[in-house]
Structure 1
Amino acid sequence: MGRQHPGTPTLEEVAAHAGVGRGTVSPVINNAADVKDSTRRILRQAIEELGYVPNLAARSLASQRTDAVALVLTEPDWRVFAEPFFAEIVRSLGDPLAGTGMQLMLTLVRSDSERKRFLEYARGGRVDGVLLMSVHAGDRLPDMLAEARLPTVGRRAIATITGPLDMYAAQCRLRGYRDALTLAGLRGVESMVAEGDFSEDSGRRAMAELLERHPEIDGVLAASDTTAAGALQALRTAGRRVPKDVSVIGFDDFALAQRTEPRLTTVRQPLEEMGGSMIRLLLEDMEEPSVAYRHVILRTELVARFDLNTVGGCVPQARRR
């Protein structure tokens, strides 16, 4: 156990304790790449033994970064926050942030006074970016943040490309899309729904049709990763940047999702568990035949691959079927 050090240790004391110059300490604290491993180890040990805590205000002043992003919920109805959707979103944002050293701040903005107060807070350089959720039509906050030149994520014109709608799985995913829009306070429009057949070609055709109907589209949920790959091609042809102009989410988390450009955020299905459940149910039915249908609901997982430092990332919730 390291020795106790009275008071708040300084950079000079850390340097002296490690036997290095003061100028060597800051690069280690800031994770600079051009520091020898041996020096890094010695300094980290000194930092731990002295209990040194970096001055975040000074770091922010030097880097012009706060290492914080705000998740802003604009829903005035408190009852909506009891829905599992919101807890899942917070969890899905926390996971990719965990390795970045950035903090996620949760903020409620439900009135004009709160909207003004948050805008002043954000413009004052207290956060590096903003994630918007549950934005209602007519809310000026997204435009106000854009005018303040803050990196902002918040999708409002979200379309979907379905699978063949005579299939139960496709129907469930469409229902999940509609439920998510309702929970987010967005109005579903039938012309924002285009039917595909889970293929790449159908994703390309459907995306082109959707852009023709609604040039304002800024988010798309595709019923499969293959369909999403086709949608990406159509968006690229139309000159739309992903995720800056339009966010795309797939479904399945096949290997393809990591080979697209950019890599797909997608909904992962527990395929191994699905196969095992099907076999188990079949064997049980062979042993004791039953005329009743049995449903097993398995948990899906949102795999977020969008970069939180860019504008992107619509997150409609997939229905768990």
Structure 2
Amino acid sequence: MTKAREPRRHPARRPTINDVAAAAGVSRGTVSRVLNGGRDVSPASHEAVERAMRKTGYVVNQHARSLVTQRSGSVAFILSEPQDRLFEDPNFNVLLHGCTQALAQHDITLLLTLASSVEDRKRLGRYLAGGHVDGALLVSTHSGSPLIPELLGRGLPVVACGKPLGYERQAAYVAADDRDGAHQMVGYLRSIGRRRIATISGPLDTPGGIERLAGYREAVGADGDPALITHGDYTRAGGEQAMQRLLEQAPDLDAVFVASDLMAAGALNALQRAGKRVPDDIAVGGFDDSQVATATQPPLTTIRQPYPRISAEMVRLLLGLIDGYSPAAVIVPTELVVRESA
């Protein structure tokens, strides 16, 4: 007995751009413009297309879009620090999260890439040469690093977080006003009666390290004493070691401005071990207003960097570069946040 042949099942047809146009009551060209950035589309039409996409279940074919636009729909987030810094320093995670959210609004994927070693940079270079990303957000740049010239040499749109030392005119960047932030902190410490104000700077091959130290020096002016200055590496352990050095160099100090909250947390450990009361004996000020600032005992008086705005501005500048605009720079203001450490 012959078995009856079952009817062939066809998979459900995927909705097309024509289906979206019909559901939205607009032309196919209008839908296409919405899918490619929404330029020259009225808010009402844009909303109608978005509603029709949800109704029809239309999903963008990224491969097809890439063939037409010559874009990958991806951006690299390049961190030029060892991997453990990504997990220790909360600032990197805040920036990563903010940039991811800002790019998601444009249907662009963010890819995290580490480039702390020569091998990492070679691997990154091969990846970028393959056209896998449309641009890069570069975080934590050091002077002398070949990353920026390599990326610019490839013609890749790049935006740095912080001034790209030596490439301020060639590369786009977004930076907090580090120098003014240091001024604010030193001014505040003076206003509460402190006179021997020390500082733990960041690394002097980074823009924040240079600018915050310059702001401190300008603020203390003629009162500056070399014994009141030491340098750290933006890590908790580095801040602890730097604070120990300061206590040996200038045992009469009564305040310290630390160039990052993470280093300030380490400095608090050193002061506690030395039997110093904070803020009674020594007032402590940080920089960043990261999650660390509210987790220390006592909570840190610090300078707030507006990371949500920094992330949004970095993405805005990068999208402009991808669209053919010239590099630009944005300096965002900082804000003093007073807590119990000073």
> What's the counterpart of residue 189 of structure 2?
168
1:61 aligns with 2:67: yes
Structure-1 separation of matches of 2:135 and 2:55: 34
Structure-1 separation of matches of 2:205 and 2:92: 9
Q: 1:169 to 1:320 in 2, by over 3 A?
A: farther
> What's the counterpart of residue 151 of structure 1?
157
* Identical positions, percent: 29
Which of 122, 125, 144 is residue 128 of structure 2 equivalent to? 122
Structure 1 segment 34-45 matched on structure 2, within 5 A = 34=41, 37=44, 43-45=49-51
Structure-1 separation of matches of 2:12 and 2:218: 67
- Which residue identity is paired with 1:9? P
Rg larger in structure = 2
- 1:72 is displaced (CA, Å) by 0.8
**Deviation digits for residues 46-103 of structure 1 (CA, Å, limit 9, x no counterpart):** 3222211112223233333334321111223625631223223324434544544433
- Which residue identity is paired with 2:183? G
> What's the counterpart of residue 12 of structure 1?
18
- Which residue identity is paired with 2:70? Q
- 1:127 is displaced (CA, Å) by 1.8
Structure-2 separation of matches of 1:71 and 1:317: 24
Q: 1:67 to 1:317 in 2, by over 3 A?
A: farther
The question of whether the paired residues in 1 share the 8 Å contact of 2:79 and 2:140 is answered with yes
Give the aligned CA root-mean-square deviation in angstroms. 4.7
> What's the counterpart of residue 317 of structure 2?
308
Structure-1 separation of matches of 2:199 and 2:187: 13
**Deviation digits for residues 159-204 of structure 1 (CA, Å, limit 9, x no counterpart):** 7354284641799x9958x24x47969865998457556xxxx9xx
Q: TM-score, normalised by structure 1?
A: 0.51
1:132 aligns with 2:138: yes
- 1:12 is displaced (CA, Å) by 3.4
> What's the counterpart of residue 33 of structure 1?
40
Structure 2: gaps spanning 5 or more residues: 1-10, 166-174, 222-286, 290-296, 319-326
The question of whether the paired residues in 1 share the 8 Å contact of 2:72 and 2:133 is answered with yes
Deviates more, 1:42-51 or 1:305-314: 305-314
Structure-2 separation of matches of 1:313 and 1:190: 17
Q: TM-score, normalised by structure 2?
A: 0.48
Structure 1 segment 219-258 matched on structure 2, within 5 A = none
**Deviation digits for residues 257-315 of structure 1 (CA, Å, limit 9, x no counterpart):** xxxxxxxxxx999xxxxxxxxxxxxxxxxxxxxxxxx9764684513263432454689
The question of whether the paired residues in 1 share the 8 Å contact of 2:62 and 2:73 is answered with no
- Which residue identity is paired with 2:153? E
Q: 1:142 to 1:295 in 2, by over 3 A?
A: same
| Count of equivalent residues | 222
**Deviation digits for residues 143-168 of structure 1 (CA, Å, limit 9, x no counterpart):** 11111011223335397354284641
1:86 aligns with 2:106: no
> What's the counterpart of residue 251 of structure 1?
none
- 1:139 is displaced (CA, Å) by 3.0
Structure 1: gaps spanning 5 or more residues: 203-266, 270-293
Structure-2 separation of matches of 1:29 and 1:77: 36
